[in-house]
Amino acid sequence: MRKYTRDLRPGEDAGDVVTREKRREDRVRREALGMTRLIWAELDPARSARTARLLQVDLQESCRLYTRNRRHFV
């Protein structure tokens, strides 16, 4: 909640901040580069193996979705 109240502009509530962030994220997604969201708890070293697996799955999904029919020259 702090995240959304910290970024309030005059006359806004937390819902406005969430909406603004969602629109920003939608613009990034339209770039078709892939995106993953993490929460702080997933950066805990005790969860690193699980987080690494989740990131690997997300990376594979991004490659599947966003590199289809592209040619790569090395």
| Residue-level pLDDT at 44 | 94
pLDDT score, position 71: 65
Nearby residues of 17 by Cβ (< 8 Å), 6 or more positions away? 4, 5, 7, 8
Q: What is the pLDDT along the chain (74 residues), one digit of tens a residue?
A: 566 778 888 999 988 988 998 898 888 878 877 778 888 899 999 999 999 999 999 888 888 887 766 665 65
The two tokens of residue 7 are 């970024």
Residue 7 has a pLDDT of: 82
- Ranges of each domain in the chain: 1-31, 36-74
Measured distance CA(50)–CA(5) in Å, rounded: 30
Q: What is the pLDDT of residue 73?
A: 61
